[in-house]
Amino acid sequence: MASLTTYADEALIALDTLAGRAAGLVTPSLRLGVTGLSRAGKTVFISSLVHNLVNGGRLPMFEAQKSGRIARAFLEEQPDDAVPRFQYEDHIDALVKERRWPESTRAVSELRLTIAYESASAWGRMFSRGRLSVDIVDYPGEWLLDLPLLGKNYAAFSNESFELAALPVRADLARDWLETARSVDPDADADEMTARRLAESFAAYLRACKEDSRALSTLPPGRLLMPGDLEGSPALTFAPLPPAEGGRMRPGSLRAMMERRYEAYKAHVVKPFFREHITRLDRQIVLVDALQALNAGPAALADLQRALADILSCFRPGSSNFLTGMVTRRIERILVAATKADHLHHESHDRLQAVVRRLTERAAARANLSGAEVEAVAMAALRATREGTVSQGKEELPVIIGTPLAGETIGKERFDGETETAVFPGDLPRDPETLFDANAKAGPAEMVRFVRFRPPKLERSADGMTLVLPHIRLDRALQFLLGDRLA
């Protein structure tokens, strides 16, 4: 893959890193990036992580907590004044009081969680203040998928877009956009309304790919799906066009306009995001909604693997010593987590983990990662269900019990969002390869049934105190991401 940065970019990154490291000499800090594609549960993950640490949650696999070395964890003012604060308190209210899932991530936000702890070694206790500030940076995975564009010119971007649109899983969704693209003359004079019509048609195609029925993940440019305050700007009013014959481009043509706006998008949207956020990370978790892709079938899983490889290829993996670390940051650990493990009985958790491990290994190999530890886990940052059994004749079936969201269906049954029910989700196959096989006799939707649940009613202790958010393997994620820095 082409380089994402120039020498000038690297010089600016080095200056930013040096300033950040100098501040960290007084207060040791670690920048944890949290990303994932839409509805993977980024907001819930951060909220549950903070809630469990601040309130002393049950985290048996998180060694520093298990051994009683964490004195307390608390929120502090974040270091970056120009970045919106992650609204932790609002999200907890939505989950606990209203039992609704908070709004999805639509922009970058940040939260500083400081952990006061005692080192496990006498040497560490002698030289460490026993305090680590974790700066949690939340950002949409759709924006991350834009970073490979930095290494592609407009022609390469266009060619790749048309190749993806030709895939069987996308072809019918791309029909209207392709007809619009073929109806215009790229070499005609640039026209604002034509550009707008092309951009809107292309964005509609990308949104259709994102719907549950297809659950596709490789959908750059991400800001066409999440424009924010750039909506309607020329930098977002562009779309791919068929390649020019002989590579020639007439100045003042529609194609020239599209190429200029594509380059403006990279310069004014993608590159600042990369320099100001991605290059400053020390650790990273990538959340994936593998169950949604399983529901949609092998083509969605293959697309998720492609998107995951694109995401991993954008990180700057590796380790650095004290001197090199003053001017360059490298991501030392990357965790890929399949969320919503609570939508399966625990008997299938290991099989879900096998699926995400298979996705991760293939994606990491394609991204050519080296120097960083990469791990995979199946988890639920907030457990919305509990387990039970139901009798069906002489057979006992393992089920999950929870309140499906209003409008969710199983067969002909449609749920109202208020009624608790027992669901038999089925079992994932022992061999994850069968889920990726487009020629398999039984598709994933025939083997398992996934519905989305409301957040749970929180339990209360004997003295009436509300307990912290329940989870599955959140402690394992914390141990991998933070455990060595609290040793």
Confidence of residue 465 (pLDDT cuts 50, 70, 90): low
- The residue to which tokens 């990538």 are assigned: 286
Task: Determine the angle formed by the axes of helices 88-96 and 42-54, rounding to 10 degrees.
Answer: 90
Measured CA to CA in angstroms, residue 453 lies from 195, 343, 415, 416 at distances of 41, 8, 10, 11
What is the pLDDT at residue 295?
A: 82
Confidence of residue 115 (pLDDT cuts 50, 70, 90): very high
What is the pLDDT at residue 5?
A: 59
What 3-state DSSP class applies to 337?
A: strand
Over residues 235-264, the mean pLDDT reads: 90
- Please give the Cα distance from 297 to 303 (Å, whole number): 10
Task: Determine the angle formed by the axes of helices 254-265 and 154-165, rounding to 10 degrees.
Answer: 100
What is the pLDDT at residue 326?
A: 47
What is the pLDDT at residue 155?
A: 94
What is the pLDDT at residue 343?
A: 93
pLDDT in tens, 43-67: 999 999 999 999 999 999 999 999 9
- The region of weakest confidence among 144-158, 196-210, 245-259 is 245-259
- Please give the Cα distance from 61 to 155 (Å, whole number): 49
What is the pLDDT at residue 25?
A: 54
Confidence of residue 30 (pLDDT cuts 50, 70, 90): very high
pTM of the predicted structure, to 2 decimals: 0.87
What is the pLDDT at residue 445?
A: 43
Over residues 162-171, the mean pLDDT reads: 95
Quote the DSSP letter at residue 31: E
145 close to 173: Cβ distance less than 8 angstroms: no
Q: Per residue in 269-306, is it b (16+ CB within 10 Å) or e — as a string?
A: bbbebbbbbbbbbbbbbbbbbbbbbbbbbbbbbbbbbb
Over residues 436-448, the mean pLDDT reads: 58
Confidence of residue 449 (pLDDT cuts 50, 70, 90): low
Tokens matching residue 456? 């749970």
Q: Which segments of 242-294 are extended strands (E)?
A: 283-288
- Asked if pLDDT for residue 129 goes beyond 80, the answer is no
Confidence of residue 88 (pLDDT cuts 50, 70, 90): very high
Rg (CA), the chain: 24
What is the pLDDT at residue 365?
A: 87
**Over pLDDT 70: what percentage of the chain?**
86
What is the pLDDT at residue 485?
A: 93
Which helix (DSSP H) or strand (DSSP E) does residue 260 occupy?
A: helix 254-265
What is the pLDDT at residue 24?
A: 53
Confidence of residue 413 (pLDDT cuts 50, 70, 90): confident
- Asked if pLDDT for residue 11 goes beyond 50, the answer is yes
Highest mean pLDDT among 311-320, 343-352, 465-474: 343-352
What is the pLDDT at residue 354?
A: 94
Phi, psi of 73, deg, nearest 5: -130, 140
- Asked if pLDDT for residue 442 goes beyond 60, the answer is no
pLDDT in tens, 310-338: 888 888 777 655 444 444 678 999 999 99
- Asked if pLDDT for residue 215 goes beyond 80, the answer is yes
pLDDT in tens, 224-237: 988 877 888 999 99
- Asked if pLDDT for residue 430 goes beyond 90, the answer is no
Nearest to 340 by CA among 382, 397, 394: 382
pLDDT in tens, 139-160: 988 888 898 898 899 999 999 9
Q: Which fold has domain 7-139+277-383+473-486?
A: Rossmann fold (3.40.50)
User: Over the chain, what is the mean pLDDT?
Assistant: 86
The whole-angstrom distance between residue 14's C-alpha and the CA centroid of its chain comes to 26
In the chain, list all ranges with CATH 3.40.50.300.
7-139+277-383+473-486
- Asked if pLDDT for residue 93 goes beyond 70, the answer is yes
What is the pLDDT at residue 120?
A: 80
Nearest to 154 by CA among 230, 231, 267: 267
What 3-state DSSP class applies to 257?
A: helix
Tokens matching residue 400? 């999950």
What is the pLDDT at residue 467?
A: 76
